[in-house]
Amino acid sequence: MVKKQPRGSNGDENGGKWVRGTSTLPKIREEGAPPSQGDFFVLSHTSRKTNDALDGQSREYIEKMKELAGRDENGNQQPLSDEIYRQVMRVRSTLCNE
């Protein structure tokens, strides 16, 4: 995406030039791999200010995904894989159709 920067109030030389813009969503990548669907869900449904879920429904999904992922022997949260995301969302779609 290309954005035009407005001229700064001090008339700096960068004002008014075309520059490459950046994505508004945080870019998390491990060794070039894109985030999993579970990680993306958590990032997009969590407040940056409070570091808490945006609403009660999101909180339930995030807790369920973390519960299914489990913890390693050191007590660290395991990654939220695409499969875990699909399991939680499958339960959600089943409940919504009943």
pLDDT in tens, 44-95: 999 999 999 999 999 999 999 999 999 999 999 999 999 999 999 886 666 6
Q: How many domains does the chain have?
A: 1
With a CB cutoff of 8 Å and minimum separation 6, the contacts of 25 are 43, 44
pLDDT for residue 30: 47
Q: Which domain, by its residues, includes 60?
A: 2-97
Structural tokens at position 89: 């969302």
Query: Is residue 41 within 8 Å of 65, Cβ to Cβ?
Result: yes
Of 61, 32, 68, nearest to 44 by C-alpha is 61
Is the pTM for the entire model greater than 0.75? no
pLDDT for residue 90: 85
